[in-house]
Amino acid sequence: MEQVRLGVIGLGWRSGVTKYWHQPDGRSLVVAGCDLSADNREKYRQRINPDLWVTSDYRELLARPDVDAVIVLTPDYCHEEHTIAALQAGKHVYSEKPLAITTAGCDRILEAWQASGKHFMIGFNMRYMSMYRTMKEIIDAGEIGEVKAVWVRHFVGLGGDYYYHSWHGSSRNTTSLLLQKGSHDLDIIHWLAGSYTRKVSAFGSLDYFGGDKPDDLTCSACPDNTTCPEARFGVLQRCAFRKEIDVEDNSMVMMEMDNGVKASYLQCHFTPDYQRNYTVIGTKGRLENSEPEGKVYVHTRQSASWRSLSDQTYAIKQEEGSHNGADPRICKEFIDLVLYGKEPVASPLDGRMSVAVGCAAAESMRTGGRLLTIEPYRRPAEASCATNAVMP
């Protein structure tokens, strides 16, 4: 195979990333698309490939012999169904995060992957962002010594726009925004700490969004739309204060890793700004990022070496492509995986473990903050491992 032919399931907002895969003179080509919305299908065809074959039934896409690999970009609660079906149809698969909305769903995906013999990749594009790769390099180089603590503050200044005016606001669709929004951060915490979470305790609540408004109320039809601070008149305009909203907008998670590293993750959806602030503390110093400044700071502590004589500042370079170059990088890595078997920087197991933390944290904060233990993934004895990771 010299060119990977791709089918895309889910042609909404995130499907814009597939422009990096559609390279008619290159190594990959988008040949088929699927979406329930006729409008999405037509807009996607015009934007990506005028000759694209489209359908409203993903089973028709999976039946096409000219589709080598499938890109799953559907809502979170559809990932399990679409990913397993694609693997069982003999396709290589790339799935957006989170892997699924339950740990059991993740395990079913892993079992289907192992039985398929096909390549499978999770869309953790934060691992491809220059800032977080720089932080990983600093840690791996020993600049701050052995990691002992990770603190993350996630300011989601557009929480209403992204989550509470849409299907994300209901736990039946997401379980928790600790999965939908936090799965990236929980994965990066594992990556920087060099270990998976074993113990979790969390507190959270709906402190701003949600309420007693009708579930079918839209901003354009609301009599209060001239005074409501959350009134929106675009595609997503379901009332952010409707009854069905039941996913926390303010949450705090405490974690302990298998290797003893302690971590915290704080997520708030009604802050005025939008940024992630990471602090990683090691035995020789700490690093901290500033997304608004585009910098990573390394502070050293007093030690018996010259390392403690100075601090360092890393200025993150701007790269071409969405998410500061992360999206074209991750798209390239999936094609490298399919064509050459090159291992991606994140494994499907990483996807499972971030969801496991999010699910446990959601359960903990909904049951008074009780301490929960996360069980490691146990591979079925009869399953055979696929080619792009070794499972424990």
User: pLDDT tens digit string along 75-114?
Assistant: 999 999 999 999 999 999 999 999 999 999 999 999 999 9
**Cα(98)–Cα(105) distance, integer angstroms:** 11
Which one, of 134, 188, 141, lies nearest residue 297 by Cα? 134
Per-residue model confidence as pLDDT tens digits over 289-308: 999 999 999 999 987 777 78
Q: Check: CB of residue 187 under 8 Å from CB of residue 127.
A: yes
State the alpha helices, DSSP H only, in 13-142.
38-48, 58-62, 79-88, 103-116, 130-140
The reported pLDDT for the residue numbered 381 is: 55
The reported pLDDT for the residue numbered 303 is: 77
Q: Which residues in the chain land under pLDDT 50? A: 382-392
The reported pLDDT for the residue numbered 127 is: 97
The reported pLDDT for the residue numbered 250 is: 97
The reported pLDDT for the residue numbered 383 is: 39
Q: Check: CB of residue 73 under 8 Å from CB of residue 9.
A: yes
Q: Cα dist. 336→5, 329, 342 in Å?
A: 13, 10, 6
Q: Check: CB of residue 32 under 8 Å from CB of residue 64.
A: yes
Domains within the chain, CATH numbers bracketed? 4-123+325-346 (3.40.50.720), 127-315 (3.30.360.10)
Which one, of 66, 68, 105, lies nearest residue 86 by Cα? 68
**Cα(30)–Cα(11) distance, integer angstroms:** 12
